[in-house]
Amino acid sequence: MPATPQRSGGAIGPPQRLQQGDEGSAVLDVQARLIALGYPIGGERGAFGPSTESAVKAFQVRRGLSPDGLVGDHTWRELVEAGRTLGSRTLYLRGPGRMMRGDDVRELQRRLNALGFDSGKEDGIFGFSTDGAVREFQRNTGLAADGYAGHDTFDALDRLRRRIGPGSKAELRERLARELAVGVGGRAVFLDPAHGGHDVGHLTDPGIPEAYLVYRVAESTSEALAGAGATPLLSRAVQQGPDEDRRCEIANARSADLAVSFHLACRADPGPTVAFWSVEGRQSATGRELAEAIAEALRPRLGPTQVLGRNLPFLRQTRMPAVVIDLAAAGNDELLGEDPYLEALGQAVATGIETYYG
């Protein structure tokens, strides 16, 4: 069936999902964006064929997304943001829920961090940290410190490009915070069992909802961390199900030192994983170290556990080192129905967190 385009803010956007066989202006828009980013699509114009699907998959791999070849909301947003280049628009702080996003914001953050102005995580989201760094940079270069990054600010950044190295003040801040900590004691750890409320998530073979299982694992992690002197912060009660944006807002508002999200079978590829934030050659170095420590602690229970760099909303929108854990493992469906097994998984995650701080 041909895809019906939708409009948002005057721009043509895709329907809820585009896939092979769809046609129309939404497909044409996606193809134009892929071509502009350097992905060939053959002779397909306005028709979502094999060449377009291959281009979408290649783009998804590059951006740290699941390469399913479908253009849903997440892939569409990444396509739009990837087309933003520094200098193509004025960047500034908008209100909550309306923050400017894009690769131009990420490049601005990279340059500011490398010059010693702490713009926070290079996530491509123009938030309060980026606003503060822009104003401080403007003050230091004799510009009006209004927080609007326009031509004058970009020109000043260009003049200083030779002084920009590979370092990042934001990364240095995260690493110092970790190294100055004496163990996990006193650390605030945000624990996010996925789904909840009306969203039960994946059902295991015995019919137990994912939302319940991951809550039990997070609860066990919370108990183990509290016993070690940390301050665990659960994102929801057992019957609640806030959306992902709200979970990230809670973690940021409570100034958590770490954030961990628990899932079960959240990937098309089988096998347990621990993911940290990574996109286009940029990554959270401390997030990766946290992921490696947790994966190592989980392997005796789950078997081979991969550490992956992913560009997932939870990893991107939280402002502290964060990981997303997928606890699905071959043959563990029956074990997931046993409380001692779930408790052991939670304790293993806590052990990984303690190792990260150790």
Does one domain contain both 313 and 332? yes
Tell me: the pLDDT tens digits for 306-348?
Answer: 999 999 999 999 999 999 999 988 878 788 889 999 999 999 9
Q: What is the mean pLDDT of residues 103-115?
A: 93
Whether 163 shows a pLDDT value over 80: the answer reads no
Domain boundary among 140, 170, 200: 170
Confidence grade of residue 238 (pLDDT, cut at 50, 70, 90) = confident
Query: Between 274 and 168, where is the model more confident?
Result: 274
Asked, for residue 98, whether it belongs to a domain, the answer is no
Asked, for residue 272, whether it belongs to a domain, the answer is yes
What domain range includes position 283?
A: 181-357
Asked, for residue 97, whether it belongs to a domain, the answer is no
Q: pTM of the entire structure?
A: 0.81
The pLDDT assigned to 7 comes to 37
Report how many domains make up the chain.
3
Asked, for residue 198, whether it belongs to a domain, the answer is yes
Domain boundary among 116, 138, 170: 170
Does one domain contain both 223 and 323? yes
Report the CATH number that the domain containing residue 224 is assigned in CATH: 3.40.630.40
The pLDDT assigned to 265 comes to 78
Does one domain contain both 21 and 129? no
Does one domain contain both 130 and 188? no
| Cα–Cα dist 127/120, whole Å | 9
| Cα–Cα dist 80/60, whole Å | 13
Q: Where are the alpha helices (DSSP H) in the chain?
A: 25-36, 50-62, 73-82, 103-114, 128-140, 151-159, 169-180, 210-227, 244-253, 285-302, 313-317, 339-357
Does one domain contain both 264 and 119? no
Does one domain contain both 154 and 27? no
236 phi/psi in degrees, rounded to 5: -155, 160
Tell me: the pLDDT tens digits for 285-303?
Answer: 899 999 999 999 999 999 9
Domain boundary among 82, 116, 132: 82
| 11, 17, 18, 19 alpha-carbon torsion, rounded to 10° | 170
Asked, for residue 95, whether it belongs to a domain, the answer is no
Report the CATH number that the domain containing residue 11 is assigned in CATH: 1.10.101.10
Tell me: the pLDDT tens digits for 17-73?
Answer: 899 999 999 999 999 999 999 999 988 999 999 999 999 999 999 999 989 999 999
Does one domain contain both 353 and 218? yes
Say what percent of the chain tops pLDDT 90.
Answer: 73
3-state helix, strand, coil in the chain (%, to 5): 45, 15, 40
Does one domain contain both 65 and 150? no
Does one domain contain both 200 and 164? no
The pLDDT assigned to 268 comes to 59
Mean pLDDT (the chain, rounded): 89
Does one domain contain both 22 and 108? no
Asked, for residue 90, whether it belongs to a domain, the answer is no
- Return the SS3 of 43: coil
Does one domain contain both 76 and 157? no
Does one domain contain both 44 and 186? no
